[in-house]
Amino acid sequence: MDTNRRSTTVIGLLYPGEMGAALGRLLRSDGLRVVTTLQDRSPRTQTLSRDTGLEELGSLAAVVRTADVLLSLVPPTAAVAVACQCRELLAEQPARSTRRIYVDLNSISPVTAGQIAEVLAAAPVDFVNGAISGSAAYLTSRGVVYLSGPRAARVAELLPKAVAVQVLGDVPGQASAMRMLLSGLAKGVVALFVEMALAARQADILEPLLTAYQTSYPGILEVVERSLPTFPRHAVRRGQEMAEVETTLTHLGLCPAITASIREVIAAMGNLWQGKDENRNWSVIDVINDLHRRQLLQQPRAEM
Ligand SMILES: NC(=O)c1ccc[n+]([C@@H]2O[C@H](COP(=O)([O-])OP(=O)(O)OC[C@H]3O[C@@H](n4cnc5c(N)ncnc54)[C@H](OP(=O)(O)O)[C@@H]3O)[C@@H](O)[C@H]2O)c1
* pLDDT tens digits, 42-60: 999 999 999 999 999 999 9
pLDDT mean over 209-231: 96
Cβ 78 under 6 angstroms from ligand 1: yes
Is the confidence at residue 304, as pLDDT, over 60? Answer: no
CA distance 242 to 246: 6
What pLDDT is attached to residue 96? Answer: 85
pLDDT score of 69 more than 60 = yes
pLDDT digits (tens, 9 = 90+) for 87-108: 999 999 888 889 999 999 999 9
DSSP conformation class of 40: T
Q: Is 230 in the pocket of ligand 1 (CB under 6 A)?
A: no
User: Ligand 1 within 6 A of 17 CB?
Assistant: yes
Ligand 1 near 82 CB (within 6 A): yes
**Alpha-carbon distances, residue 179 vs 8, 96, 192 (angstroms):** 30, 32, 20
The whole-number pLDDT of residue 95 equals 81
Q: Whose CA is nearest to atom 35 of ligand 1?
A: 74
Contact 264, 200 (CB under 8 A): no
The DSSP bridge pattern shows strands 33-37 and 144-148 to be unpaired
Q: Is 103 in the pocket of ligand 1 (CB under 6 A)?
A: no
Within 13 A of 38's CA, how many CA atoms are on the CB side? 14
- Residue 212, amino acid: A
Ligand 1 closest atom vs CA 76 = 45
Distance CA 211, CA 226 (A): 16
Q: Report the pLDDT value the prediction gives residue 278, as an integer from 0 to 100.
A: 60
Strand ranges inside the chain, DSSP E: 10-14, 33-37, 55-57, 69-72, 100-104, 125-133, 144-148, 164-169
CA of 73 to the centre of ligand 1 (A): 5
Which residues on neighbouring strands pair with residue 129, listed in sequence order?
Answer: 104, 148
**CA distance linking residue 20 with residue 52, whole number of Å:** 10
Mean pLDDT of 156-178: 96
Q: Is the pTM of this model over 0.95?
A: no
Q: Report the pLDDT value the prediction gives residue 5, as an integer from 0 to 100.
A: 56
**Residue to probe by mutation, ligand 1, list 13, 19, 237, most atoms within 8 Å of CB:** 19
Tell me the CB-side half-sphere exposure of residue 101, using CA atoms within 13 A.
25
With a 6 A CB cut-off, is 130 part of the ligand 1 pocket?
no
Q: Which atom of ligand 1 is nearest to the CA of 22?
A: 16
Ligand 1 pocket check for 182: Cβ under 6 Å? no
Residue 195: Cβ within 10 Å count: 15
What per-residue confidence (pLDDT) applies to 59? 98
**Alpha carbon of 150 to ligand 1 centroid (Å):** 25
240: confidence class by pLDDT, cuts 50, 70, 90: confident
CA distance 34 to 295: 48
Residue with the smallest CA separation from ligand 1 atom 5 is: 135
Work out the pLDDT band at 186, boundaries 50, 70, 90: very high
Confidence of residue 4 (pLDDT cuts 50, 70, 90): low
- Ligand 1 centroid from CA 225, angstroms: 25
Shortest CA distance to 14 belongs to which of 58, 47, 60, 52?
60
